[in-house]
Amino acid sequence: MSFFSRRVCVIGSGLIGGSLALALKQVGAVADVMGCGRNSATLQRALELGIVDHYSTDIAEAVQGADMVVLSVPMLAMRDVLAQIEPVMQPGMIVTDVGSAKQSVIDDARAVLGDKLGQFVPAHPIAGTEKSGPDAAFAELFAQRRVIVTPLAENSEADVARVVAMWECVGAMVECMSAEHHDHVLAATSHLPHLLAFTLVDSLARMDESREVFRYAAGGFRDFTRIAASDPTMWRDIALANSFEISLILQQYQQELEDLQRDLQTRNAQALFARFSRAQTAREGIKL
């Protein structure tokens, strides 16, 4: 299905929103991109980079005339932004988001959109880098990446299809699932690893000899901790937005570390080997 929009309004001009705008322009799927955010300097930069064609710091003004509004703001800002959009939502306007947790933004939408709820189609492109801001945006970010759409019962099939088509036209592979399932899976594969990496780097940075510790860090450490350079506001919000699922999977991981600690202390060579060996086999089997 092809996609064309006469005006997309991107609220929040960071890596994801900016890259989507660039990608839609590159394939000729949008006539005009309106940027919106709280920081004029960032929006001005997005304009200079050709990400947006105009911008406004006023949400009600920015969404005027847009047939697709994309919320690319930290999770905890979603409710406030949705509340500001609601009074000016026209029939035919679709609002979608790119949030890394889905149940919380759906709760936000239910709380503030009233009978316009059906126009909100929740989505999450599983793409990104540890960088943030408009300068990090690039049109190819979504090529061959997965986007998960978690439709509401209130959504029309046509609106869901239009959001799917938007992501497909920038090269993504789109799948639909429930918000609950999305949050459960992403807690394991994305949210927990980010929190573990942040926690490790923070822990080592607070060691007395941290400077020296990092001095002897090599490639394995670099890869393992790359995601710890991610935006702290964005991740605070994801941690809170999906705290229930993250807490559950973290609990399971903490149990695994207790087993590991016990195996180290009892020098259980067989258990250590079995664990590492299972992990190696699983890791080599992952197509990433």
* Residues in region 47-106 near a second copy by CB under 8 A: 76
**Is residue 208 close enough to count as binding a second copy by CB under 8 A?**
no
User: Residues binding a second copy: what is the number (CB under 8 A)?
Assistant: 90
Out of 11, 148, 149, 163, point to the residue binding a second copy (CB under 8 A).
148
Alpha carbon distances (Å) from 258 to 264, 267, 271 = 10, 14, 13
Question: How many other CB atoms are there within 10 angstroms of residue 146's CB atom?
Answer: 14
- Give the tokens for residue 195: 């929190």
Nearer to a second copy, 6 or 278 (CB): 278
Question: How many other CB atoms are there within 10 angstroms of residue 204's CB atom?
Answer: 15
32-40, 60-68, 89-97, 237-245 -> range binding a second copy (CB under 8 A): 237-245
11-19, 27-35, 103-111, 241-249 -> range binding a second copy (CB under 8 A): 241-249
Give alpha helix (H) positions in the chain.
15-26, 40-48, 59-63, 78-85, 103-112, 157-169, 179-186, 192-205, 210-215, 219-225, 232-241, 243-265, 269-285
Residues 113 to 142 in contact with a second copy, rule: CB under 8 A: 126-130
Shortest reach from residue 93's CB to a second copy, in Å: 29
Q: How far apart are CA 269 and CA 40, in angstroms?
A: 58
Question: How many other CB atoms are there within 10 angstroms of residue 207's CB atom?
Answer: 11
Nearer to a second copy, 4 or 214 (CB): 214
Nearer to a second copy, 60 or 205 (CB): 205
Q: How far apart are CA 89 and CA 69, in angstroms?
A: 10
Nearer to a second copy, 60 or 207 (CB): 207
Whether residue 105 contacts residue 148, with contact meaning beta carbons closer than 8 Å, is answered with no
Shortest reach from residue 264's CB to a second copy, in Å: 5
Residues 156 to 195 in contact with a second copy, rule: CB under 8 A: 185-186, 188-190, 192-195
Nearer to a second copy, 3 or 198 (CB): 198
